[in-house]
Structure 1
Amino acid sequence: MALNTVSELDATAADYLNRSDLTPIIPTFRALAEVRLNRELRTRFQETQVTLSTVAGTATVPLPDDYLEARGLVRLTASPADLSYRTPASLSTLYGANSGMPAAYTVIGSNIKFGPVPDAVYSVELTYLAKVPPLSDANPTNWVLTNSPDLYIYATLLESAPYLKEDARLTVWGQLYDAALGRVQQQDERARWPSSPLSIQVTKW
């Protein structure tokens, strides 16, 4: 059976479980699998960028709804520059309520907080890791299902085991999921970094 769409994924899960009465609950297994993937999967396919705008006199800007982790923040206007990350305590110690051109940031809850507090509207570019787009009838596929259908099906089946009270299957699906996750992460590392050995340049003074 093909494994390219959400309906095919759900049908495959039912086939693996050899149960015809689980159709209503399989989407719940799949949704729980996506929660697990968002916690554990980290690949370059999750990297995305968005341009945000600060508000004069307001220290915070809401994070994107699909935000998982920040990779970096760049001020695009008024002398473009990388903004340095600070812990919340460090940001408050360094900048307090001072206003000016943002030079640093932190993440508090669902917001980015800038230091100093922006004194005008600034455009900033956030590079971050995004959540796996959830599958649905309106969104029948995503990059995980396209690139790693085995990971998706094993994650879904792993979430079925507690519901079905199948302790043995919990171990089996867990091992298959862990192996698939490891292969995906290794493949991503090979694709991200050059395979040629590092070269050292010697400069003569």
Structure 2
Amino acid sequence: MTIVISTEDSVRFQTLAGLKASISSRLDRDFDDDDLADFIYLAEREMERVLPVAAREVTAPLTISAQTATLPSDFKAVRHITVSSNGTWPLSLSAPSSLCSHTGCPNAYAVVAGQLWFSPVPATAYSGLLVYERKITSLTETAPSNWILQLHPDAYFYGALVQAADFIADSSRIDRYRAMFETVIGQMIDESERYRNSGSPMMPTMIGVV
């Protein structure tokens, strides 16, 4: 006998339309679509402020062939940058005023006006790797999902319910959903710390010492 287990609930939570439907269903109330969008946006803004760095880290390849390079569209902050050419080494963060204009192999970077600036100016093309903290891309009708909704839909759900309960002035539900939302965020932070500290114990390294 074949048993079919429905995944409707999990799939529904991981789309914008499903998230909106779930909010209305949980509160047993029909909300205007613009109001639902506001609840979700306010939850996003709070998550943007409190979510841990490790949960946001992603990598992107870099071709360093000029003094500047364009940052990814979801860029929030640099974690580190490495350059490869007969070996791999990290670039140091530098103040924009300290960047030099002569050419050579880059050893420093700065973020200026939404771009990466390198110093010295690369004399040839180098391969690099950018590890960065990504922003939360807002959910819209044209972008109905993102990495938070895919990995942690309950964070969106409870965060939006806090805003919806406040909208209808239901204080008891505000407290309950706030507690649930903060529990999920706390679990995400714990998961982030386990990820960052997984593997062997960290040992100090001394560069240039054999």
Aligned to 1:203: none
TM-score under structure 2 length normalisation:
0.74
Aligned to 2:26: 16
Q: Distance in 1 between matches of 2:109 and 2:202?
A: 35
Deviation at 1:108, TM superposition (A): 2.4
Superposed, 1:143-162 pairs within 5 Å as 143-160=147-164
Q: Distance in 2 between matches of 1:37 and 1:71?
A: 19
Q: C-alpha deviations, 1:144-170, integer Å up to 9, x for none?
A: 233322211122123335555566655
Aligned to 2:16: 6
> Percent identity of the aligned residues?
27
Q: Distance in 1 between matches of 2:169 and 2:101?
A: 54
- Match of 1:64, as an amino acid? P
Name the CA shift for 1:190/1:109 in 2 (closer, same or farther; >3 Å). same
- Of residues 94, 101, 106, the one that matches 1:102 is 106
Q: Establish whether residue 69 from structure 1 lines up as the match of residue 77 from structure 2.
A: yes
- Match of 1:184, as an amino acid? M
- Match of 1:153, as an amino acid? F
- Of residues 27, 31, 37, the one that matches 1:27 is 37
Q: Distance in 1 between matches of 2:76 and 2:202?
A: 34
Q: C-alpha deviations, 1:186-205, integer Å up to 9, x for none?
A: 12322443388x599xxxxx
Consecutive unaligned residues in structure 1, runs of 5 or more: 201-205
Consecutive unaligned residues in structure 2, runs of 5 or more: 1-7, 204-210
Q: Distance in 1 between matches of 2:22 and 2:138?
A: 18
Q: Establish whether residue 92 from structure 1 lines up as the match of residue 100 from structure 2.
A: no
- Match of 1:70, as an amino acid? V
- Match of 1:99, as an amino acid? T
Q: Distance in 1 between matches of 2:183 and 2:126?
A: 45
CA RMSD of aligned residues (A): 3.0
Larger mean Cα displacement after TM superposition, 182-191 or 142-151: 142-151
Aligned to 2:186: 182
The DSSP-based 3-state class of the residue aligned with 1:144 is helix
Q: Distance in 2 between matches of 1:21 and 1:139?
A: 21
Q: Distance in 2 between matches of 1:110 and 1:132?
A: 17
Deviation at 1:182, TM superposition (A): 0.6
Name the CA shift for 1:60/1:163 in 2 (closer, same or farther; >3 Å). farther
Q: C-alpha deviations, 1:107-152, integer Å up to 9, x for none?
A: 2231112122333333321011222344344544443233322211
- Of residues 100, 114, 120, the one that matches 1:116 is 120
Q: C-alpha deviations, 1:23-68, integer Å up to 9, x for none?
A: 3321232133223222221254532211223343xx3222111011
Q: Distance in 1 between matches of 2:103 and 2:29?
A: 62
Q: Distance in 2 between matches of 1:106 and 1:167?
A: 46
